[in-house]
Structure formats: structure tokens, C-alpha cells
Amino acid sequence: MSARVAIVTGGSGGIGRAVVDRLAADGFNVAVHYSGNRARAAEAVDAAVERGVQAVAVGGDVADEEAMGGLFDEVESTFGGVDVVVNTAGVMVLDPIEHFDLAALDRMHRVNIRGTFVVSQLAARRLREGGALVNFSTSVTRLQMPTYGPYVASKAAVEGLTLILARELRGRGITVNAVAPGPTATPLFLDGKSDEEVERLSKAAPLERLGRPEDVADVVSFLAGPSARWVNGQVLFANGGIG
């Protein structure tokens, strides 16, 4: 039986890189999507190949339907099809709603909402029978933390899209779920935060630490694998019990 094939958007760093590593360890051939840093994507490819699978780096704007259509074309040509799509690509800008820059809002929503929609639409059309789509939300949708409003708005949209798409793909054997991480030690989370703020947030969960990218990758591995075939149309919170 040939290896299953996964596309990971934003797979060159942070949670995306941990997902690539874990799916490669699970035996998936992987397509590592990147937006601007091809060198990091190449490192992820090399690490996957060292695990004994095939891997390729593929670039493009997740919000550009032609670019993402070309990405799916390339992956299908290289590996023969697509079984799993994981949307980790995202942008987070924090500021109070009252003062939030609308240009920043447009940039963030282009990646988080339109990008997720474009890739989800392609996944709905092109995933093989028995496939899985995993989108990314955030635990902050339930925590109502100040300065996170615009980001949460984009991720709440992702949750709504995900849960409805799961119902729309009835009869295809394809699962559609979202993962909602809590505070996780990645550049996306750590950038712009003081040491004191990071320390405070690290104690918020009952487990009293920040999440690791590998913690979230374990959840994705579950949703992408055979043990989660009865998990569909759900948002799984990977946050150590916060909120």
C-alpha cells in the first residue's frame, strides 16, 4: 500500500514544522508549504526525508486560488493524490479594537479567513476518499482576552467554515475538524510579549507551562490518522486545560 500524502500550509516553521515532522514520522509523504522562507521549508523537507519518506517544498500565497491550485497540481503530480490537508498558515496582530489598524485587519483576514477558505475549498474538491482536513483556530475564541479581538474574529470564522464544511462533505468519508491551540511557544506567540507576560501566560493552564509545537502536532496526527475516523465536525482544544 502506497504512503498517504499530506499538505501542510505554513509548514516551514512553528507549529507547522512540528506537524510536518510528526506526519513524516507517521509515514506520510509530505508537501511543505511556505510563503516566504524557502530555506526553512527546505530544512523541513530534509528532516522528513531523513525519516524515510518523500517530501517536497511548495511555495505560494494561501489566499491566491491560482497559486494554491498549482500547489495541489504539483503535489498530485509528484505523489499521485492528496489524503490530508493541514492549514497551519496564519497571521496574528494584537491591539485593542478601538485603535486597530484596518490595513492590518485586512492583511490578517486575508491569510486567516480567505487563505483557509481557498485551501479548504480545494481540499473539498481534491482530497481522496477517507481523507482529512484539519484547520486551525485558537483557544482565545473562548478566553476573551483584550487585544485579541480582530485575531479571534478571524479564527471564529475558521471554526464556522470548518463545522459547516464537515456537514457538506457528507458521504465522502472525509473528516473536517479544527484544532484550537492555547499559548504555545512559537515565534507567532512570543513576538512582542515581555518576559513577564510570557511567564504569566505560562502559568494560566493547570499544567503550568506553555504548550510546545509538538503537543499540537500530536493532536493533528490523531485527526489525520486511522484512530480519528469517527471524529468529524469538531473543534479540539489543545491548551493544557486553560479556559
pLDDT in tens, 210-223: 889 999 999 999 99
Running DSSP on this structure, what letter comes out for residue 99?
A: G
Range of the domain at 61: 5-181+217-232
148 has catalytic annotation:
no
Amino acid identity for residue 224 in this structure: A
SS3 call for 1: coil
Mean of the per-residue pLDDT values for the chain? Answer: 94
Running DSSP on this structure, what letter comes out for residue 220?
A: H
- CATH number for the domain that contains residue 47: 3.40.50.720
Q: How sure is the predictor about 44, in pLDDT bands with cuts at 50, 70 and 90?
A: very high
Task: Give one word for 192, left, alpha or beta, with left for phi > 0 and alpha for psi -120 to 50.
Answer: left
Running DSSP on this structure, what letter comes out for residue 57?
A: E
From the list 79, 117, 151, 237, the catalytic residue is 151
The answer to whether residue 211 sits within a structural domain is: no
The answer to whether residue 168 sits within a structural domain is: yes
Q: How sure is the predictor about 186, in pLDDT bands with cuts at 50, 70 and 90?
A: confident
* pTM for this prediction: 0.94
The answer to whether residue 205 sits within a structural domain is: no
Number of structural domains found in the chain: 1
